[in-house]
Chains A and B, each alone.
Chain A
Amino acid sequence: MNFFLLSLAIIVVGGTIPLLTFRHFVLTKCIYVSVTAVGCISGLSALLSAASSPESLAWSWAWQHVFTLSFSFDSLSLFFLLPVFLICPLAAMYSFFYFERAENSLKTAVSYFFTNILIVSMALVTAASNMLAFALVWELMSISSYFLVMYDYEKVETRTAGYLYFLFAQGGALLIFAAFGVIFSHNGSFDFSRVVGIPDSAKLVVFFLAFLGFGSKAGVFPLHIWLPHAHPAAPSHISAIMSGVMIKMGIYGILRMYFMLGATDIRLGQTVLILGMISGLLGVLYALGKRNIKRMLAYSSVENIGIILMGAGFGMIGIAKGNSLMAGFGFAGCLLHVLNHSIFKSLLFLGAGAVIRKTGISRVDLLGGLMKRMPITGKTFLAGSLSISGLPPFSGFVSEFLIYFAAFQGLKYNHINLLLSIIAIISLAAIGGLATFCFTKVVGIVFLGEPRTEKVRLATDGGWTLTVPLSLLAIACLGIGIFPAPFITLAFSGLADVSFVSQVDPQLVQTIGTNLGFASRLFLIIIFAVILLRKALYRRKENTAGPTWGCGFTRPTTRIQYTGASFSRSVIDFFRPFALSRETEVRLKKIFPERTRYASWVEDVAEVGMRQGLALPLLSLLGKFRWIQHGNVQLYIGYIIVAILILLLILFI
């Protein structure tokens, strides 16, 4: 029996036990968390032992005597398994804190079950090595995550969000299966290893179909609109798993499809790069505009998927151009950002979940002053924010640096590739700046300043099941930033099976890692030196405390603090055609005006466009065919018979 399968079995068992023991709430939680953790850790160790010989883990079995489901591993799938087994046990541990109400124990048990099905199906997605196996586990992943989003099914918003997610998941799957269909029609085989043989013209079609399908799972603009609805609806650790790990399966699919096709057309890379830039810029822009903390984090996932795709785009252009440095660093940056994003995004979602759980408020503009009340949540959230803004000495910078490195390689070319590289580098810089803007806003408005509402005043940190996952993730953010060399090597080892990329000189990779690590540590050392200098300057001095200087205003209240909406207003207006900033009109009528209301919000162009350009026309068109659906079962059977007859006629004539 293979060790990897055994760990998956443990995870399935860990998910099933709660269904039987749900009447004992705390016991159920304990069993679930410990069994799942054991399963994930043994999965991780199977992963490590397989790193040297991935072939040893391959297995397959015949299903229904017709289909063969086969699974095998290569370096890329092993790399994508890392976040699955690293993040999921932490999220499971956090669920101990998050699910606190015993009266929901059945719901909790069901959620546990689907969580573990999701973990197993994600692990199998990376391992699937023929189309049938892939389709099966991909659907399992989509459906189990759909049930997880629907945890609070009593709420209308949750049901809407779940429906939207279901539509996008199934629509995406449809496109992926269409791509598989095109492949099958050319070579008549389900096996991934034979895909490379199909003609070049078909490769282009297959890649773009699959890109759209996987892109809708990953959250590529404009197919991202399910993300900002599904994440606020789902429980926070589920958001962490979905945003940190599951949407990366979309990226995995894109990379797998690309390497499988062996296509070297430069247009693939250019398209991916352009879509990456658009996702990155607009994602961070909408993140700035949103008020709900989890919705904002969801948009920031769109931004990071954009950065990841930019890395992949540079990698593909590098392969098309025969530039192994550009290809290697592009793909390595892409992979490392996948790992980094899974760490800091789950950290941020878990932190946001703790805030929401403790205060009952998810609107950024109503929070404030939590750094003193929830110090561990606050500090780890700060670490995550620095990391996601791509600032040294934290982890996000390392992967962005690799992508920059690839992008600067692109400047060696002329014409379209030069222009694309120029725009990409400037967008990457602008994304970094806007992300800093966005996360100073979240940290500043939510955790700093004074509480804006009374409920916030009473919040406290949760127990160790909350603080341990947060602290571990925050340490990982800083650790990757300070000692990046092994992680950069790890990202390159994820590409070991891509023949062209493995030509990159390992010496150069090592040097870059060492230099980056040296710079990060130097920065920390200078910071500590300045802290010592400051300590020396404050020796034997009296510091006094007082209220904040109100610029002459003597009766301040906490409500006059700057809000997130006003903080981001100027930038949103600057990007006006892309971010639709709306506000209610305030007009004073009468001589003695009545109480007025004011509201402002930012709309997503993709969402508005899809609603008005696609959904509404489709609804009104389909409404005209309502008469077909009359509720008479006998006639429905008649429809089926007619349809079968027509199909038979078409086939045999």
Chain B
Amino acid sequence: MESFVSILIALLSAPLFPGIILKVKALFAGKKGPPLLIKYYTLMKLFKKGSVYSTTTSFVFKLGPIVSLAGGIMILLFFPLGAIAPVLSFHGDVLVLFYVLATGRFFTIAAALDTGSPFQGMGAAREAFFGTLAEASIFAVLILFYRMTHSLSFGEYFTGANPISLTGPAGALLLLVIVALFIVLLTENSRVPVDDPATHLELTMIHEVMVLDHSGPDLALIELGSFYKLFFYSAFLAMIVCPLSPSGGLLNLPVFYGIVVLVYMTIGLVESIMARFKMNLVPKFVLTSSILVVFAAILTMGFIK
């Protein structure tokens, strides 16, 4: 029951948090900024509209938003938000879930190529490239977590017998993981300094240019999917930063969401004080994260006998 309440809260509240990023950025720039609920308004507006479809596109174009949103929902179902047992869990679920996200990426890329636009192709190539590098980092994190907990499931990581915790015997290694995961979060969700969601020139975009041709409810589904994905990565980070006890039940949620808000504020902070990297620096930036985690995994030889 608790699990269902928690997932429901997450699915409904996920569009709230990107508003926080916008607010932080606006405050930094000395502006008032859009209202916090801005993303809900956008979604409502898009839901009401119809769509324009390019005559070039086929059914693959319409599958893109659907599969990426489905992936976002699926991964949240398996994640112990606030150390409340996830709705579903089994040994090995992390592998399935990251591959499910990859299926979403496959269809987003295919949908972009379906339009036949050179700009969308360019964005698709970049997304595929950086996504591959980020996937390598994610698997490095999974390797480290397996060394620490001997498990392959989100449920086990945070609510299992020996949960991952900063205060545990190998907790210091998690500092490296936090930095690495934050880099992955920025990459996978197309944030500055990897990608700039607010830029106005198609040539410099990555993710935004891939969805240029989607409109109306299709675009809303894409947005929703990206909110869930960002929420998942933030929740993952939050659970590592502040491990909660599974016995807390729903009372954990305020603390958990507090940390999640902090993660989003950090993203806003990074976006305010950094410019985006030149495109050829991005691979090095992303690779940094996997090197950090592999280093941590090798260090476990000293910690774990």
Which chain A positions have C-beta within 8 A of B116?
A: 368-369, 448-450, 548, 558, 561
Which chain A positions have C-beta within 8 A of B246?
A: none
Contact of B54 among A445, A526, A547 (CB under 8 A): A547
Contact of B60 among A371, A518, A531 (CB under 8 A): A371
Shortest C-beta distance, B59 to chain A (Å), equals 8
Shortest C-beta distance, A475 to chain B (Å), equals 18
The answer to whether A567 touches B124 (Cβ under 8 A) is yes
Interface residues of A in 380-418 (CB under 8 A from B): 382, 386, 389-393, 397, 401, 404-405, 408, 411-412, 414-415, 418
Given the complex of chains A and B, what is the CA–CA distance between A533 and B47 in angstroms?
11
Q: What 4 pairs between A and B have smallest CB-CB spacing?
A: A562-B121, A444-B113, A433-B132, A449-B116
Contact of A449 among B56, B67, B73, B290 (CB under 8 A): B56
Could you say which of A414, A530, A534, A541 has the most chain B C-beta atoms within 10 Å of its C-beta? A530
**A→B interface (CB under 8 Å):** 368-369, 371-372, 378, 382, 386, 389-393, 397, 401, 404-405, 408, 411-412, 414-415, 418-419, 421-422, 425-426, 428-430, 432-434, 436-437, 439-440, 443-445, 448-450, 511-512, 515-516, 518-519, 522-523, 526-527, 529-531, 533-534, 537-538, 541-551, 558, 560-562, 566-571, 574
Which chain B positions have C-beta within 8 A of A425?
A: 139, 142-143
Interface residues of B in 105-159 (CB under 8 A from A): 105-106, 109-110, 112-122, 124-126, 128-129, 131-133, 135-136, 138-140, 142-143, 146-147, 150, 152
The answer to whether A549 touches B128 (Cβ under 8 A) is no
Which chain B positions have C-beta within 8 A of A422?
A: 140, 143, 294, 297-298
The answer to whether A433 touches B136 (Cβ under 8 A) is yes
**B→A interface (CB under 8 Å):** 47, 49-60, 62, 65-67, 69-71, 73-74, 77, 88, 90-93, 95-96, 99-100, 102-103, 105-106, 109-110, 112-122, 124-126, 128-129, 131-133, 135-136, 138-140, 142-143, 146-147, 150, 152, 202, 212-213, 216-218, 220-221, 283, 290, 294, 297-298, 301
Which chain B positions have C-beta within 8 A of A368?
A: 116
Shortest C-beta distance, B139 to chain A (Å), equals 4
The answer to whether B102 touches A433 (Cβ under 8 A) is yes
Which chain A positions have C-beta within 8 A of B136?
A: 426, 429-430, 433
Contact of A531 among B55, B66, B124 (CB under 8 A): B66
The answer to whether B221 touches A391 (Cβ under 8 A) is no
The answer to whether B58 touches A448 (Cβ under 8 A) is yes
The answer to whether A418 touches B301 (Cβ under 8 A) is yes
Given the complex of chains A and B, what is the CA–CA distance between A434 and B129 in angstroms?
8
**A391-B99, A534-B66 known; A545 and B54 CB under 8 Å?**
yes
Contact of A549 among B47, B147, B213, B301 (CB under 8 A): B213
The answer to whether A371 touches B113 (Cβ under 8 A) is no
The answer to whether B301 touches A414 (Cβ under 8 A) is yes
The answer to whether A405 touches B217 (Cβ under 8 A) is no
**A436-B106, A543-B52 known; A426 and B70 CB under 8 Å?**
no
**A449-B116, A567-B124 known; A443 and B110 CB under 8 Å?**
yes
**A430-B132, A526-B73 known; A516 and B96 CB under 8 Å?**
yes
Shortest C-beta distance, B300 to chain A (Å), equals 9
Which chain A positions have C-beta within 8 A of B55?
A: 545-547
